């Protein structure tokens, strides 16, 4: 109901959280009724599509609020130090248990995770909702998506687990989402997922997952912002 009222608020006054004195605006003339109920009818399928997305936004907003509260208590430096301690401990353990190249994989993944987590906290602290959507959410997802891919660049045993599903996902995206306008053909002609440079295979996958993390972060940030926009306000 609130999602539909938000849609109505775009064209008509006092639809979302109307004042107690004037109440919700209602059409008075025939022309106003046609415009009012026509706009309401157009909003029904949009709400049907947007409601599941709104539920995702509510869940994202809830968990982001919890993480933001923890980050506030730690501060930017504290959050970075905590990530560095956790990933540093993993790197130290890897140094004693793994071969050199696999140890480098853990270190590289640690650097990516710590830098991305620090950037996410930094941008969530310095700006408002817009800065969080544009920067904080993409860096947060980068901190989740990229470390396994970076580790797989150095560890052949991980490449089948990470690269093969990633390649299947890339093919699906190119054949469905990006086929419009010939963009998929340009990507196939310009980039290679499995380019060979020294002992590193598949650095294109890291670029791919970064390219996925950024728009996915924007989408989740926008959904969280929408959930925050239409939630009921205290009187």
Tell me how far CA of residue 69 lies from CA of 55, 141, 147, 161, 229, in angstroms.
21, 18, 24, 34, 19
Q: How far apart, in whole angstroms, are the C-alpha atoms of residue 139 and residue 107?
A: 19
**Residue 170: both structure tokens together:** 């890339």
State pLDDT tens for residues 155-213.
777 777 888 888 788 888 878 777 777 777 777 777 666 544 333 445 677 778 888 88
> What ranges do the domains of the chain cover?
2-230
Residue 195 is predicted with a pLDDT of 44
State pLDDT tens for residues 11-69.
888 887 776 677 788 888 889 899 999 999 998 998 888 888 888 888 887 777 777 66
Q: Which helix (H) or strand (E) holds 200?
A: strand 200-201
How many secondary structure helices (H) and strands (E) does the chain include? Answer: 8, 2
Q: How far apart, in whole angstroms, are the C-alpha atoms of residue 179 and residue 168?
A: 15
Tell me how far CA of residue 191 lies from CA of 107, 185, 195, in angstroms.
26, 10, 9
The residue whose two tokens read 């853990």 is 106
Using alpha carbons only, give the angle 167, 169, 173 rounded to the nearest 5 degrees: 115
Instruction: Name the β-bridge partners of 197.
Output: 200
State pLDDT tens for residues 146-156.
777 777 766 77
State pLDDT tens for residues 95-130.
776 677 767 777 777 788 788 888 888 887 776 777
SS3 13: coil
């Amino acid at each position: 109901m609130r999602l539909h009222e938000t849609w109505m608020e775009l064209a008509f006054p006092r639809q979302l959280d109307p004042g107690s004195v004037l109440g919700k605006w209602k059409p008075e003339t025939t022309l106003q009724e046609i415009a009012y109920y026509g706009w309401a009818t157009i909003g029904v399928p949009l709400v049907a599509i947007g409601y599941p997305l709104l539920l995702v936004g509510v869940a994202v907003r809830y968990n982001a609020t919890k993480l933001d509260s923890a980050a506030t208590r730690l501060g930017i430096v504290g959050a970075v130090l905590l990530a560095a301690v956790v990933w540093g401990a993993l790197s130290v353990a890897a140094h004693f248990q793994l071969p050199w190249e696999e140890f480098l994989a853990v270190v590289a993944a640690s650097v990516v995770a710590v830098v991305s987590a620090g950037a996410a906290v930094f941008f969530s602290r310095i700006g408002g909702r817009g800065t969080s959507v544009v920067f904080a959410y993409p860096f947060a997802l980068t901190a989740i998506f990229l470390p396994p891919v970076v580790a797989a660049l150095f560890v052949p045993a991980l490449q089948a687990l990470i690269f093969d599903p990633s390649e299947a996902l890339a093919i699906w995206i190119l054949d469905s989402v990006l086929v419009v306008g010939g963009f998929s053909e340009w990507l196939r002609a310009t980039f290679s997922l499995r380019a060979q440079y020294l002992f590193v295979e598949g650095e294109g996958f890291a670029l791919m997952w970064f390219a996925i993390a950024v728009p996915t972060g924007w989408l989740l940030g926008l959904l969280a912002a929408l959930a925050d926009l239409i939630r009921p306000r205290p009187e």
